[in-house]
Amino acid sequence: MVVCGTRPDAVKMAPLVTALRQCSALETTCCVTAQHRDMLDAVLDVFSIVPDDDLDIMTHGQSLSDITARVLERMQGVLARRAPELVLVHGDTTTGFASALAAFYAKIPVGHVEAGLRTHNRYSPFPEELNRQLIGRLAALHFCPTQKNKDELAAEGVTSGVWVTGNTIIDAMKSTVSADYRFENEALRALDFNTQRILLVTAHRRENYGAPLENLCRALRTLTQRFGDVRVIYPVHPAPVVRGTADSLLGGAERVTLLQPLSLTDMHNLMARCHFVLTDSGGLQEEAPALGKPVLVLRRETERPEAVEAGTAKLIGVEEEDVVREATRLLTDQIAYDAMADAVSPYGDGRACERIVQCVLHMADPSAPPPEPFST
């Protein structure tokens, strides 16, 4: 059973669901919690995946406790009825943690896709850092995107059932990005990528609510005032605190376009055509380097240090002057820009799902050959 509940879950698990279902030796079901209802459904539609079970937990203003309790309660019945031999959860979402806990209570082994990422700061990202660590304690199989992730688990004493597979997001992007893509969003269709430098911005982390997000918005206004060919495209997270800040500080600003969240294909293809990315997202730190786009990370630490070490990403925090300085550097220093754009992505070769399928088969039958680990 593959479980997902949020857009990031679905993006990274959808190609795995497809790969598992193509394996005749496995019977695969997909269960969604719908922690994010609309955004989840939109991604599943892209990959033509119809869930076998839908917990439909989302309510307006839901808290982390609400999500955890409803997933635990409703997953119990699904697990009893389906009786899977393995439950696969993803990453660091509350859906992933609560589903892993439900599987543990049912004494069903858990496989953790995207295991071993750490910031070692339990409140940043919150609640994702502890969600991921707790899933790691519940899981029997750990599918690590990189060797560094495997090393992190080893440092915590987790050495059994650990595999380096690459990240499934690279697999997903093989089917979402195309040179002749036509944007669904009308505002994106109107962009001139030849005469304007497009800065793609996302910011939604809880730790950036309030003053940090306000700093970012002021910095973006400064950049568009300083560079006449720069346009900011900011798909704004629907959380009221995020939308309210963006609207109040950037609404009506020249060459700043605030959008509703984009479809997966629009987002990936905008990323492929933009100049560079400013983000506090985890997934974009993996996606943009695979497309040759520099990433300025609007955080003080990251559970994805490989991109920073490879030179494709840079941690810059969310102080206004720091954002302006680092963005200005990429807009004025071609050598600095090329160094980040040309660095090799450390996150995968598009075969992560294939390796995970082989790991599952090896778990079911130890005589089956394990996969060759991914390495950069």
Annotated catalytic sites, by residue?
92, 114, 128, 204, 206, 237
Say how far apart CA 46 and CA 300 lie, in whole Å: 33
Is residue 58 helix, strand or coil?
Answer: coil
DSSP code, position 236:
-
Which residues, in sequence order, are bridge partners of residue 313? 295
Residue 59 one-letter amino acid: T
> Containing H/E element for 329?
helix 320-332
Q: Can you tell me the distance from the alpha carbon of 208 to that of 110, in angstroms, rounded to the nearest whole number?
A: 32
DSSP letter for 293, please.
-
Distance CA 223, CA 78 (A): 51
Q: Which residues contact 291 (CB under 8 A, 6 or more apart)?
A: 173, 177, 268, 271, 272
Distance CA 86, CA 140 (A): 9
Taking the C-alpha atoms of residue 167 and residue 361, their distance in angstroms, rounded to an integer, is 19
Q: How many CB atoms lie within 10 A of CB 195?
A: 8
Residue 189 C-alpha from the chain's centroid: 25
Cα 61 versus chain centre, distance: 22
Contact 348, 169 (CB under 8 A): yes
